[in-house]
Amino acid sequence: MLNQRTVVVDHGGGRIDVMDIDEYAKGVLPYEMSSGWPAEALKAQAVAAKSYALAAGRVYTDTRSQVYGLLRHDDTDAAVDAVRGVLLAHHGQIIMPFFFGHCNGRTRSPSQAGWNPVADRPYLTGVACPCGRTRYYGHGIGMCQRGAQTMAERDGKTFDQILRHYYQGIELLGRDNVPSQPTVRPANAELYVIQRGDTLSAIASRFGTTWQLLHCANRDRIADPNRIEPGWEIVIPREAEEEGEAKVYVVQAGDMLGALARRWGTTVRALVALNSISNPNLIRVGQRLLRP
């Protein structure tokens, strides 16, 4: 089980931190919303930002994940503190809740936005939105930030009402009467059961990562990186982009084989053959693809 209190943050340039999830969220809110927005909208954004980070397992500080920086405000910090311990889940599993600037009056499912249909989820269906805008700013999936602002400011909605509107059928861990400690499996990760004779360095080498990242991703289980026990289940974090010289790519939400082929200067047929893909219209989030 991953620690629900920490997240691995990649600042770039080789700097990687393990941060308290609330301190991380305090660095996200001033950039993803803004100081002066209604408190309930800020709380909704805080819950979404925390849930996204924990579901991702490892986040970047730019738009590859969600923007993080050093700016802080009293009201955005207070919003994070007000929802401490509250997370978004579906059937007890922490979800990756997408959000964006504003829509045209209705949000979209991933497939409606042109993403791979495998990214569709019951809690990411399109819903009516009161943002008052006439075009999309962003992908249109999940919570419309301007819509959340309007729901809080004009309609007096609370953060949980906002979240339940944009993410249909979700639970609020730490608020609803549901288990507060679900197993969290990051979207770009896989699970591994430690075998007799394993070392953290050997496991890292086998999966193309480093023992430091393994330790960061499993701080709740591994106190001392030199002492691991057979039978422990640990998370193997995966990069969100291309992985080194091996030319391995981890499929992200919204990826389509045709678009990847164009990006890499190859053909769908070549990718299908190289990766033994049975259906070129169906690739899975988290799937590892070899590049020609």
- pLDDT tens digits, 95-114: 889 999 999 999 999 889 98
Are 15 and 139 contained in the same domain?
A: yes
Are 93 and 227 contained in the same domain?
A: no
The tens digit of pLDDT for each residue in 173-220 reads: 887 765 444 445 555 556 788 888 899 888 888 877 778 777 777 766
Number of domains in the chain: 3
Q: Which of 124-128, 131-135, 183-187 has the lowest mean pLDDT?
A: 183-187
Residues 145 and 101: beta-carbon distance below 8 Å: yes
Residue 10 lies in a domain: yes
Cα end-to-end distance, the chain, whole Å: 36
Are 126 and 198 contained in the same domain?
A: no
Mean pLDDT of all residues in the chain?
Answer: 83
Are 85 and 204 contained in the same domain?
A: no
Q: Which of 119, 143, 173 is the last residue of a domain?
A: 173
What crossing angle do the helices spanning 145-153 and 159-166 adopt, rounded to 10°? 140
State the pLDDT confidence band at 154, using cuts at 50, 70 and 90: very high
pTM for the full predicted model: 0.67
Residue 265 lies in a domain: yes
Q: Which domain holds residue 283?
A: 244-290
Residue 180 lies in a domain: no
Are 44 and 115 contained in the same domain?
A: yes
Are 51 and 96 contained in the same domain?
A: yes
Looking at residue 182, its pLDDT comes to 46
Model confidence at 152: pLDDT above 90:
yes
Are 110 and 203 contained in the same domain?
A: no
Q: Which of 147, 173, 199 is the last residue of a domain?
A: 173
Q: Which residues are registered as beta bridge partners of 233?
A: 193
Are 212 and 230 contained in the same domain?
A: yes
